Amino acid sequence: MRFDNQVALVTGAASGIGRALVQQFAAEGAAVVAVDIVEEALHRVVAELQSQGGKATGCVANISSDEDVERMLSTATSTYGRLDILCNNAGIMDLMTPVADVPLALWDRVLAVNLTGPFLACRRAIPLMLEQGGGRIVNTASEAGLRGGTAGTPYTVSKHGVVGLTRSIAFFYGERGIRCNAVCPGGVETGIGVGSGMPNEAGLARVMAVVQSSAGRPARPEQIASVIAFLASDDASNVNGAILTADNGWFAA
């Protein structure tokens, strides 16, 4: 029970890695605040956790909205009195679009969810954590945050930004009791796909040529969740500012 008497907030909790993560946190004793924009799926996840005896509450929120982010953090503190763990996991894809073909609306949307969302959450969570003496933040980055050939331009830029955000928080707040780390998955068996819409054919072909030649087998969501849970636990008490690949050796190729 590594998270007994602790409160964990997870975004993107209604499916994929986020769903596996809230299940693991609840199973190991945490009170969970599950956040997602998809209301029906979120309610199902929360009901499942509660039926298994877990402490869980849901919050429907758009993480790119500062007002919604403030509300989701208030949900944690008003329901459970504190916030020990923040996992910025929600994200969207970019249809594998190269920079010259990126519509401004696509750029704005991907950056808003994938980078501005984690920034807003960290900006509001850190003062709470400082007040209570510390906390842990784990950001879901990506292989695309380490290289240029695994997604389109908006997603790649957003995940490079998440890596920078992670290291900056670790630097500024590590001595004040806040650890911040990031996980970089490769392929994962989730429904994220290439995004909502028709992919850019040239971009998709170029990326898939790289992925198919070197990528390891896709991970199960539970495998990535276990890495995130490790970084959020006291088992990783000496780990801060780490950008940890969880990709079955893909980055080593």
So which residues are the catalytic ones? 155
What is the residue-wise DSSP string for 155-195?
HHHHHHHHHHHHHHHHHHHGGGTEEEEEEEE-SBSSS-TT-
Q: How far is CA 140 from the centre of its chain?
A: 3
β-pairing, 178-185 vs 135-140, is: parallel
Gap between the Cα atoms of 117 and 98, Å rounded: 23
According to DSSP, residue 220 is labeled P
SS3 120: helix
Q: Where would I find the beta strands (DSSP E) of the chain? A: 7-11, 31-36, 55-60, 85-88, 135-140, 178-185, 243-246
* 3-state secondary structure (DSSP) of residue 246: strand
**Cα 137–chain centre separation:** 10
Alpha-carbon gap, residue 177 to 135, rounded angstroms: 6
Residue 101 in tokens: 């073909």
Which of 188, 93, 207, 192 shows the shortest CA–CA distance to 148?
207
Q: Tell me if residue 219 falls in helix, strand or coil.
A: strand
